[in-house]
Amino acid sequence: GAGVSQSPRYKVTKRGQDVALRCDPISGHVSLYWYRQALGQGPEFLTYFNYEAQQDKSGLPNDRFSAERPEGSISTLTIQRTEQRDSAMYRCASSSRVRDNEQFFGPGTRLTVL
């Protein structure tokens, strides 16, 4: 079956623009996670959802970052007024059950802010 998909795979934007990154989890997976990975570092947690409910957004760095999952499936991570320091790989993962810590990752979106 299909794995986690993310789009776009690459995004280049100018400082100050808004960007929206999409994640399509594995069909039927109830939990969805967003991580950010800087070059040479491990992924860092941003936020996660169980179904459509955002459970933990403690990793979002500031109020320019937001995420939604309105129907409990596809999720969008939005970054407003992008800055160069937002450049990173943004990774999405999903898991089949609540409190199931086996997460399946998508290929990531490489964001470059010029």
Partner 1 sequence: GDSVTQMEGPVTLSEEAFLTINCTYTATGYPSLFWYVQYPGEGLQLLLKATKADDKGSNKGFEATYRKETTSFHLEKGSVQVSDSAVYFCALSDLGGGSEKLVFGKGTKLTVNP
Residue 2 identity (one-letter amino acid) = A
Cα angle: 66, vertex 63, 15; to 5 degrees: 85
Given the structure tokens 């990774």, which residue do they identify? 91
Using CB atoms within 10 Å of the CB of residue 104, give its burial: 0 to 12 exposed, 13 to 18 middle, 19+ buried.
middle
Query: Which residues within the stretch 27-56 sit at the binding site for partner 1 (CB under 8 A)?
Result: 31, 33, 35, 40-45, 48, 50, 55-56
What minimum distance in Å lies between the beta carbon of 15 and partner 1? 27
The stretch near partner 1 (CB under 8 A) out of 11-19, 22-30, 67-75, 93-101 is 93-101
Question: The tokens of 102 are what?
Answer: 């086996």
63 binds partner 1 (CB under 8 A): no
Contact status: 84 vs partner 1 (CB under 8 A)? no
25 binds partner 1 (CB under 8 A): no
- Give 5 or 73: the residue with its C-beta nearer to partner 1: 5
